[in-house]
Chains A and B, each alone.
Chain A
Amino acid sequence: MTQNQQDDTNSDSSSGTRFLSQLLPGMSATVVQLQAKGAIRQRLLEMGFIRGATLKVEKLAPMGDPMELVLKGYHLSLRRDEGACILVQPVTQSLG
């Protein structure tokens, strides 16, 4: 699943947006859009995943999933397939 999204985003490199699940540890990004529906969407919203919010990928769990994020000054974990519903714009300076 992640592989497909990788391809999609690569073909859409002009906008620079990608899915949260594709970010590597240490990268920061701002939330562009939530594509999740229902209870997950509601939960993400109230946890602070709103348009423009800045987040940082802190690390991945030892088995590669879930991922740890820092958002609004607190830490939370998210499964990668949940992260695959969140479209983000990477913040470039933290890439270096």
Chain B
Amino acid sequence: MPVIIALAGNPNSGKTTLFNALTGSHRHVGNWPGVTVERRSGALEVEGRNLEVVDLPGTYSLSAKSEDERIAASFLAESQVDLIINVLDASNLERNLYLTTQLLELGKPVVFVLNMMDDAEQRGIQLDIPALETLLGGPVVPTIGNRAEGVDALKTELLKVLDGTESKVRNFPAETAGHGPMDYGHDIEGELAKVAAHVKRDEDLAGSIKPRWLSLQLLEGSAEAIKLVEGSHAREAIMAQLEASRTFLHAHLGEDAATLLAEHRYGFLHGLVQEVAKLPETPEVSHTTKLDRLLTHRHLGIPIFLAVMVAIYTLSFVIGKYPQNWIDKGFKILSAFLSAKLPAGELTSLLTDGIIPGVSAVIVFLPVIMILMGCISFLEDTGYMARAAFIMDRAMHLMGLHGKSFIPLLMGSGCNVPAIQAARTIESKQDRLITILVTPLISCSARLQVYIVIAGTFFKPFGAALAVIAMHFLGFGLAMVIGRILRSTLFSGPSAPFVMELPPYRMPVLKATIIHMWDKAKVFLTRAGTTIFAGATLVWFLSRYPGIANADWNHEYQQQRTAVMALQIPDAQKDERLKDLDLAKESRIVNHSLAAGLGKFAEPVMRPILDPDHKRTEAWKDVIALTAGFVAKEIVVSTMAVIHQASEQPGAGEKLSPLQVSLRDHTGLTPLTALAFMIFTLIYTPCLGTVAMIRREAGSWGWAGFSVAYGLGLGWLLAWSTVVFGRMMGFV
């Protein structure tokens, strides 16, 4: 069993930077069990000894009110944690030490890290480190996380404490003496001791958590602590004492226990900070305040924010498009090469039409995920992310969302997949879930490709442009409405407080950004990638079988090929004919596939939308296209091209592509049903990548299933209403 070291501290205390500096390449990034809070752990080797460092979520306390705090509190209380590193922002000591007052109650050795020493010095704060060590009862190591300064000294201290050779570690009086590291005064200490005495009557309970610590949490009203007690045989006695103590304290001291404890802690810390820190007489206006005069300025704040958003959007989706195209092209070339070299058949098709496009469908997301996550990590590390939330919160709150929901929603118009991943920055679970669930309504660039083909076919240029723009507004509008509905139904609990720190601006460490990008990419590949790949292969199977295995068709195709090859015509014409043959063969396979069966089966459901007069014979083909579009929405177009045996590429000098001509002249779609088709495409279901990402980020298949189901329902309803109202108003 390696020694386990937990890294605890406030958000923005530079904990993760320190974690990166401590651990090398042996890092593991995952989620904490059962929740979608990132868990980072890494190996640290000091003088031949193996230590494991676990980076806890940044928290302001261990009160276990939020998911992050629950995780941190329960992990720290576990007996397997051998040592705690408490990271403190030296420039903001008093509030950072609040968590410390709780950490000290855990009874584990703590090494304190005074991070951001450069910041503190810049602000003219002088710290008396030996005095701090005496007051806290443990070694204090000053560091500058950004430059990895002080990390070696920290490693040395860790070993000393683990070996028991560190003289600065103060051993608090034994539990029986009644007092912990902090004295809460006669009344509170008295009641704490009484509750603890009852806890001790259950030896199992007292063995699993320190009685004093449990009693403190009980007094504070922690639901987790009460849960622990509920399993105990001393439950009734403990709860009765707790009630009596609370009543006593309230009557005696005039406030509830949680308030009294907080006041005592801050009272103690205020004194402590005055003893160890010398603040400048006239504090200089910090560079943060100066920057904020501009960045959160009443008039300039929003334009600057929008400019930052445009920059990120461009980087991710315009610049990111290039590597995406290379990847796409690369895989297409590979696919074409293999299908030319390998004997035609099912296995080749599995490889060239199933596996390779499947892998490509996964890899193609990587550039945009890495760029966008890099940008967001950069914004977070600078401190601007909190300002972005500050600026946008009013507008987003109206939608039932959080200021930090804006970025996922906006980025969703590029691609929903990384947008949902970006929702990680939202701390509150409710706000995060609502954001994740409404993001798929934001129309992405893949859906744009479908609109362009359909609108270009059925509307005049101006009307087509209007229709495409309308789709985007519809998406945003729906996100707003659904957000509010979710907030008032499924997530109607009290919304999480928007008490958000606006941390000082800091220069991000490039290495941290790169590590973050890499971690996100890895998580995507291993967790979401497998789902996307499996889904893509399934859709390949549905759209190829049983036709692909039909020996007669294959024979027929070979004969036709041979016949064309034997013709005495120029090569260019020959190629043209061969291409037509290939398309005819593919079209035949798809139109007789399992997907076609599914399309025919589901066609009655879609009839009110796609075929309200019941005049079309081929409406089921649209259903195949939509089914294939589940993999990625742009596939709707390429599938239609195959189904209708018409190319997507317009011929020279032609305005419409053969596919568009075919859609207009042969399918029986009308402008109105075409519009309904576009609306349905916008909403009907998140694409496979998005579903995989929702599963990953919402933490369950349940939410992923929910978003598919409500998408289908809502999409149908809106497309149907469009047809019904459109017809009432005389459109066809």
Binding site for B on A (CB under 8 A): 34, 38-48, 50-51, 53, 58-66, 68, 72-79, 82
Contact = CB atoms under 8 A, between A and B. Distances in A.
Contacts of A64: 394
B393 A43 contact: no
Given A50-B263, A51-B263, A74-B95, A68 B498 contact: no
18 contacts: A34-B259, A41-B259, A42-B220, A45-B259, A47-B499, A61-B391, A62-B297, A63-B394, A68-B296, A68-B390, A75-B292, A75-B502, A75-B503, A77-B386, A77-B393, A77-B500, A82-B497, A82-B499
Contact of A40 (B94, B263, B292, B497): B497
B502 A44 contact: no
Contact of B301 (A34, A50, A62): A62
Contacts of B662: none
B interface bracket (residues with beta carbon within 8 Å of A): 35 or more
A46 to B, nearest CB: 4
Contacts of B296: 59, 61-62, 68
Interface string B228-263: 000000000000000000000000000000110011
A44 B497 contact: yes
Contact of A62 (B298, B496, B499): B298
Nearest to B92: A74
Given A48-B98, A68-B502, 8 more contacts: A38-B494, A58-B292, A62-B297, A72-B94, A75-B504, A76-B502, A77-B390, A78-B499
A73 B94 contact: yes
Contacts of A50: 259, 262-263, 266
Interface in B123-158: none
A66 B393 contact: yes
A75 B497 CA distance: 16
Interface stretch (B57-65, B374-382, B611-619): B57-65
A22 B410 CA distance: 33
B302 interface: yes
Nearest to A48: B95
Nearest to A66: B393
B397 interface: yes
A82 B496 contact: no
Contact of B501 (A63, A65, A74): A74
A41 B497 CA distance: 9
Interface of B: 60-61, 63, 65-66, 92, 94-95, 98, 220-221, 258-259, 262-263, 266, 288, 292, 296-299, 301-302, 386, 389-391, 393-395, 397, 403, 494, 496-504
Nearest to B493: A39
A30 to B, nearest CB: 13
B636 to A, nearest CB: 39
Contacts of B391: 61-63
A79 B398 CA distance: 12
Nearest to A68: B502
B514 to A, nearest CB: 29
In this complex, which of B259, B503, B504 has the most chain A Cβ atoms within 10 angstroms of its Cβ? B259
A64 B499 CA distance: 16
Contacts of B61: 42, 46
A85 B11 CA distance: 25
B498 A78 contact: yes
Nearest to A41: B258
Contacts of B496: 39
A88 to B, nearest CB: 15
Contacts of A61: 296, 301, 390-391, 393-394
A82 to B, nearest CB: 6
Contacts of A60: 298
A43 B65 contact: yes
Nearest to B283: A73
A77 B263 contact: no
Cβ-closest 3 pairs across A and B: A63-B394, A45-B262, A75-B502
Nearest to B303: A62
A47 B262 CA distance: 9
B387 to A, nearest CB: 9
Contacts of A42: 61, 63, 65, 220-221, 258
Given A59-B296, A61-B391, A62-B297, A76 B501 contact: yes
A44 B61 CA distance: 11
A79 B402 CA distance: 11
B94 A44 contact: no
Contacts of B94: 48, 72-73
A73 B89 CA distance: 12
Contacts of B389: 77
